[in-house]
A = this chain, B = another copy of it.
Amino acid sequence: MTVQQFTDYVKKMQHYSEALNVIYWDMRTGAPKKGLEQRAEVVGTLSASLFDMQTSDELGQLLTSLETQKADLDYVTTRLVEEVRKQYDQNKKIPAQDYKEYVILQSKAETAWEEAKATNNFALFLPYLEQLISWQKKFIGYWGMKNGSPYNTLLDLFEPDMTTDVLDRVFGELRETIVTLVQKIGASPKQPDTSMLLKHFPREAQRALSLEILAQLGYDFEAGRLDESVHPFMVGLNHGDARITTKYDEHDFRSAIFGTIHECGHAMYEQNIDAKLAGLPLAAGTSMGIHESQSLFYENFVGRNEKFWAHNYERLQQYSPAQFGDVALDDFLRAINMVEPSFIRIEADELTYALHIMIRYEIERDLFNGDLQPKDLPQVWNDKYEEYLGIRPETDAKGVLQDMHWSGGMFGYFPSYALGLMYAAQWKHAMDKDIPNFDELLAKGNLLPIRQWLTEKVHQYGALKKPFELLQEGTGEGLNATYLANYLQEKYTKLYQL
Interface residues in chain A, defined as those with a beta carbon under 8 Å from any beta carbon in chain B:
11-12, 15-16, 18-19, 22-23, 26, 30-39, 41-42, 44-46, 49, 220-225, 237-241, 243, 278-279
A35 contact set on B, CB distance < 8 A: 223, 237-241
Q: Give Cα A315–Cα B143 distance, bound, in whole angstroms.
A: 66
Q: A12-B45, A26-B26, A38-B238 are in contact. List 18 more A-B contacts (CB 8 A).
A: A11-B41, A15-B46, A19-B42, A22-B22, A22-B26, A30-B225, A32-B224, A32-B241, A33-B222, A33-B240, A34-B239, A35-B223, A35-B239, A38-B239, A38-B278, A39-B238, A39-B241, A42-B238
Residues of B within 8 A of A239 (CB): 34-35, 38
**Given A241-B39, A279-B41, are A23 and B19 also a contact pair (CB < 8 Å)?**
yes
Residues in chain B near residue A23, CB distance under 8 A:
19, 22
Please list 10 pairs of residues, one from A and one from B, whose beta carbons are closer than 8 Å in the complex, sorted by A's number.
A15-B42, A30-B225, A31-B241, A32-B240, A34-B223, A34-B241, A35-B237, A35-B241, A38-B238, A39-B241
Q: How far is the CB of A150 from chain B (nearest CB, A)?
A: 38
Question: Which residue on chain B has the smallest CB distance to residue A39?
Answer: B238
CB pair B41 A15 closer than 8 Å: yes
Instruction: List the B side residues contacting A225 at CB < 8 Å.
Output: 30-32
Residues of B within 8 A of A238 (CB): 35, 38-39, 42
CA separation between A41 and B237, bound complex, in Å?
Answer: 13
* Residue of chain B at shortest CB distance from A46: B19
Q: Which residue of B lies closest to A16 (CB)?
A: B45
Chain B residue at smallest Cβ distance from A33? B222
- A163 to chain B minimum Cβ distance, whole angstroms, is 36
Chain B proximity of A167: nearest CB distance (Å): 36
Q: How far is the CA of A19 from the CA of B16 in the complex (A)?
A: 10
CB distance from A36 to the nearest CB of B (A): 7
Q: Which residue of B lies closest to A241 (CB)?
A: B35
Residues from chain B with Cβ under 8 Å of A49 in the complex = 49
A41 nearest CB neighbor, chain B only: B15
CB of A38, distance to nearest CB on chain B (Å): 4
Contacts of A26 in B (CB 8 A): 22, 26
Q: CA separation between A254 and B210, bound complex, in Å? A: 33
Bound-state CA distance A221–B279 (Å) is 36
Q: Chain B contacts of A44 at CB under 8 A? A: 15
Chain B residues in 8 Å Cβ range of A38: 18, 238-241, 278-279
Tell me the bound Cα distance from A44 to B19 in angstroms: 11
3 shortest interchain CB distances as A-B pairs = A35-B241, A34-B240, A35-B240
Q: Once the chains are docked, how many angstroms separate the CA of A84 from the CA of B397? A: 52
Q: Are B222 and A34 in contact (CB under 8 A)?
A: yes
Which B residues touch A32, using CB under 8 A? 221-225, 240-241, 243
Q: How far is the CB of A276 from chain B (nearest CB, A)?
A: 14
Q: Which residues of B contact A45 (CB under 8 A)?
A: 12, 15-16
- CB-nearest residue of chain B to A25: B26
CB distance from A497 to the nearest CB of B (A): 46
A18: which B residues are within 8 A, CB to CB? 38-39, 42
A486 to chain B, nearest CB (A): 39
CA distance A224 to B36 in the complex (A): 11
